[in-house]
């Protein structure tokens, strides 16, 4: 069993206070041991981060940029190692893992080139008033298990370039790629600027309540996000919460079913449906309903489900046993309340594999429609009235994303304006350029990542107001 990876604390690669097994979801068996940090190591990391902060913050943007570029080079040099490790721990097909590693490198380079420039509000004979943005200090970057690297990098790179220092805490079931990122950083970044702490789901709360942490950048479920929010109160920490979603794919009556079915299928099944912004429920006009269900069903039956390292696998296992059990529950209810068009059960093999599933004729209040399933199981609902469909979509407590599928993009844009969520795509999905801010409405989050807003989240505005003469 592989046990070569270490925590990165205060510039040194160290063993954890303990160890924990990491399961390959394609087999359900442990394939590696990860170091497990304890509360004392967390304290050491926060203290080291606080020592490192003034020096890092004092560097120019150009100096920090050079560090981040070398960091990106270091990841690039181990590209395939990152991709294979991600597939092993997360389960996703290797080409999707490579895409994520490529995005990680691109993200480091994109944010390395950004700068928050001070701004003159007024400069007259009598006075000069300027606005500056100072870094906050120690950022805790807490991430989930669906995209272990890219979700970290959209925190890490903006936080570092703006002069903050970062402690990364990955999800307990996918610690290895974050630890590998730490190993790359160990030779490149000054000690304490970036650190990694792997845990068994017991350090997140300690980190987000720690008085030495200035900002908690959290991506994960809404339930945990609420705990994080309350943990920031004592010291009035800044925070960014990227939480759950129940995004709808809304098909308009002018859509071409043959064209939109593969796009919707992809939007629902990429990463085995474990995407915060995945299409998690489909609303189709009654006239297109049978055809769309049939087309989605055919795609589900044709999809190649298999181990991520096997060439040709399109859909891998779900990431962990708890998620697998949750999906098995949803499937049992769906079989009772609706009609299974394709799939409907786990695969009869080792590992956490669920057959890609399309379910029709579920009532609006079925759990699979109302809740975030986070797996390759897609409910398709019929509507008779577009206004009522939009109302049903907006009735969700979530408001992360959504897609409109139509033959008329301008009409799609108008409908998109009526959907109450942070991002709505028309005739495309998951297009997330680094210069475009994204984040949730309602209980899908508070704050933004990426874009200028995402950089500003890691800074504190400061006014300098000078009388002249």
Interface residues with ligand NAD (CB under 6 A) are: 142-146, 151, 169, 171-172, 201, 204-205, 208, 219-221, 224, 227-228, 242-245, 276, 372, 374, 400, 440, 445
Smallest distance from the beta carbon of 219 to ligand NAD, in angstroms? 5
Catalytic residues: 242, 276
- Min dist. Cβ of residue 86 to ligand NAD (A): 15
Name the residue nearer to ligand NAD (CB basis): 25 or 244. 244
Q: Tell me how far CA of residue 53 lies from CA of 11, 39, 212, 250, 385, in angstroms.
A: 13, 21, 11, 47, 56
Do the beta carbons of residue 30 and residue 21 sit within 8 Å? yes
Residue 315 Cα distances to 93, 202, 248, 450, angstroms: 7, 31, 21, 28
CA distance 306 to 319: 13
Query: Which residues lie below 8 Å from residue 264, measured CB to CB, with a gap of 6+?
Result: 249, 251, 279, 282, 292, 296, 403, 405
Chain residue whose CB lies nearest ligand NAD = 204
Element (H, E) at 414: helix 409-416
Q: Can you list the pairs that 349-352 forms with residues at least 24 positions away whose Cβ atoms lie under 8 Å?
A: 350/27, 350/28, 350/29, 351/24, 351/25, 351/26, 351/27, 351/28, 351/307, 351/317, 352/25, 352/26, 352/28, 352/91, 352/317, 352/318, 352/319, 352/320, 352/321, 352/323, 352/324
Nearer to ligand NAD, 201 or 465 (CB): 201
Least CB distance to ligand NAD at residue 123 (A): 40
Q: How far is CA 284 from CA 118, 165, 264, 385, 424, in A?
A: 49, 47, 11, 10, 17
- Smallest gap from Cβ 99 to ligand NAD, in A, equals 16
Contact 352, 320 (CB under 8 A): yes
Q: Which two tokens stand for residue 12?
A: 């040194």
Nearer to ligand NAD, 106 or 205 (CB): 205
Three-state DSSP class for 97? helix
| Burial environment of residue 211 by CB neighbours within 10 A (0 to 12, 13 to 18, 19 or more) | exposed
Provide the minimum distance between the beta carbon of 205 and ligand NAD in the complex, in angstroms, as a whole number: 4
Residue 177 or 224 with smaller CB distance to ligand NAD? 224
Nearest to ligand NAD of 133, 237 (CB atom): 237
| Tokens 């420039």, located at residue | 117
**What does the alpha-carbon distance between residue 393 and residue 279 come to, in Å, rounded to a whole number?**
12
Q: Nearer Cβ to ligand NAD, position 74 or 454?
A: 454
- The residue count of the chain comes to 469
| Residue 335 vs 367, nearer CB to ligand NAD | 367
Least distance (Å) between residue 274 CB and ligand NAD:
7
């Amino acid at each position: 069993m592989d046990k070569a990876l270490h925590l990165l604390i205060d510039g040194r690669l160290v063993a954890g206070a303990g160890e924990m097994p990491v399961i390959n979801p394609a087999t359900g068996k442990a394939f590696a041991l990860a170091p497990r940090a304890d509360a004392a190591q967390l304290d050491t990391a926060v203290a080291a981060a606080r020592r490192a902060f003034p020096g890092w913050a004092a560097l120019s943007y150009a100096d920090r940029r050079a560090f981040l570029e070398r960091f990106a080079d270091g990841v690039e040099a181990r590209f395939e190692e990152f991709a294979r490790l991600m597939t092993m721990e997360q389960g996703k097909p290797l080409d999707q893992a490579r895409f994520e590693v490529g995005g990680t490198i691109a993200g480091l380079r994109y944010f390395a080139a950004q700068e928050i420039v001070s701004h003159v509000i007024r400069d007259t004979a009598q006075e000069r008033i300027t606005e500056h943005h100072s870094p906050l200090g120690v950022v805790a970057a807490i991430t989930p298990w669906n995209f272990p690297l890219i979700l970290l990098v959209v925190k890490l790179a903006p936080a570092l370039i703006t002069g903050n220092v970062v402690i990364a805490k990955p999800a307990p079931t996918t610690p290895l790629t974050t630890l590998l990122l730490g190993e790359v950083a160990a030779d490149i970044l000054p000690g304490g600027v970036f650190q990694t702490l792997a845990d068994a789901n017991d350090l997140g709360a300690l980190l987000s309540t720690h008085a030495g942490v200035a900002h908690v950048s959290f991506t994960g479920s809404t339930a945990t996000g609420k705990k994080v929010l309350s943990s920031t109160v004592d010291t009035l920490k800044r925070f960014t919460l990227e939480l759950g979603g129940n995004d709808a794919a809304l098909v308009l009556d002018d859509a071409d079913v043959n064209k939109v079915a593969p796009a919707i299928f992809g939007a629902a099944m990429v990463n085995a449906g474990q995407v915060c912004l995945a299409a998690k429920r489909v609303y189709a006009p009654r006239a297109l309903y049978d055809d769309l269900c049939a087309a989605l069903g055919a795609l589900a039956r044709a999809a190649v489900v298999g181990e991520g390292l096997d060439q040709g696998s399109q859909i891998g296992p779900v990431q962990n046993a708890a998620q697998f059990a949750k999906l098995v529950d949803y499937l049992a209810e769906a079989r009772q309340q609706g009609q299974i068009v394709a799939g409907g059960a786990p695969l009869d093999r080792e590992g956490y594999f669920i057959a890609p599933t399309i379910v029709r004729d579920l009532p609006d209040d079925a759990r699979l429609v109302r809740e975030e399933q986070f797996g390759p199981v897609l409910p398709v609902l019929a509507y008779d009235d577009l206004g009522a469909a939009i109302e049903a979509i907006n009735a969700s407590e979530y408001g992360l994303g959504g897609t409109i599928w139509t033959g008329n993009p301008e009409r799609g844009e108008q409908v998109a304006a009526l959907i109450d969520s942070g991002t709505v795509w028309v005739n495309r999905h998951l297009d997330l350029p680094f210069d475009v801010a994204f984040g949730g409405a309602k209980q899908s989050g508070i704050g933004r990542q990426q874009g200028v807003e995402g950089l500003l989240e890691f800074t504190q505005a400061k006014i300098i107001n000078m009388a002249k003469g």
